[in-house]
Amino acid sequence: MTTRHAVLADLLLDAVLTEGTDENAAQAAVRAAERRGRRMAGRSTRSPGRPPTWCAA
């Protein structure tokens, strides 16, 4: 299992390494986070409208 700190560090590193000349660090971090979120959503195995498995339903 990956810790939140490791995920955040990986995300920020990705943002810094791919920062464009037309964006600042905050914009790069948001772009990297959005890209990561889209990738994670594509790997989701749950059905739309159902709570995540970690959620106490």
In the chain, what percentage of residues exceed pLDDT 70? 70
- SS3 of residue 51 by DSSP: coil
The helix (H) or strand (E) run that includes residue 37 is helix 25-42
User: How sure is the predictor about 55, in pLDDT bands with cuts at 50, 70 and 90?
Assistant: low
User: How sure is the predictor about 54, in pLDDT bands with cuts at 50, 70 and 90?
Assistant: low
Token digits of residue 38:
């889209």
- Asked whether residue 56 carries a pLDDT value surpassing 80, the answer given is no
Please name the amino acid found at residue 56: A
Domain boundaries, the chain: 4-42
Q: What is the mean pLDDT of the chain?
A: 81
**Residue pair 31/14 in contact by the 8 Å Cβ criterion:** no
Tell me what the mean pLDDT of segment 7-24 comes to.
92
